[in-house]
Amino acid sequence: MSQKNDRAKEQILKMSGVNPLKCMRCGKCSGTCPSYDEMEYHPHQFVYMVETGEIDKLMQSPSIYKCLSCFACVDRCPRGVEPAKLVEAVRLTVIRQKGMNHMTADSIPALLDDDLPQQAIVSAMRKYSK
């Protein structure tokens, strides 16, 4: 097993309010995830890897920016585990570090097309930067 990051694990559990031990490893989160194919680590792996403390791998993975926060995994989980909240907590752990913003205000103009709604930019800033 790779190195464990117990401090980050504790922080993530607290931030997300998720108890990964409730998971029964059914895989429904990954069965329902619309962004599965874009992800390196999949929703069920987030649950499992947070539990085993393999937080660093998750933090370095682009997977954390692929989650749509669509909450399908949250609603459909038979055990009420809420994997999306773990993904969010890992992402926040990353972007709250100094200089770790995934998206900056400077990069926004490049994205703008005529129709892109405000909401997308605001949301993206929330999700990708601190």
Q: Which residues bind other proteins (CB under 8 A)?
A: 14-17, 22, 24-38, 42, 44-45, 65-66, 68-72, 74-80, 82, 84-85, 88-89, 92, 102-103, 111, 115-128
CB of 1 to other proteins, least distance (A): 17
Give how far Cα 15 sits from Cα of 45, 88, 96, 122, Å. 18, 9, 13, 22
CB of 30 to other proteins, least distance (A): 4
Nearer to other proteins, 5 or 73 (CB): 73
How distant is the alpha carbon of residue 1 from its chain centre?
Answer: 22
The answer to whether 28 and 76 have CB atoms below 8 angstroms apart is yes
Please tell me the distance from the alpha carbon of residue 51 to that of residue 126, in angstroms, as a whole number: 26
Nearer to other proteins, 7 or 126 (CB): 126
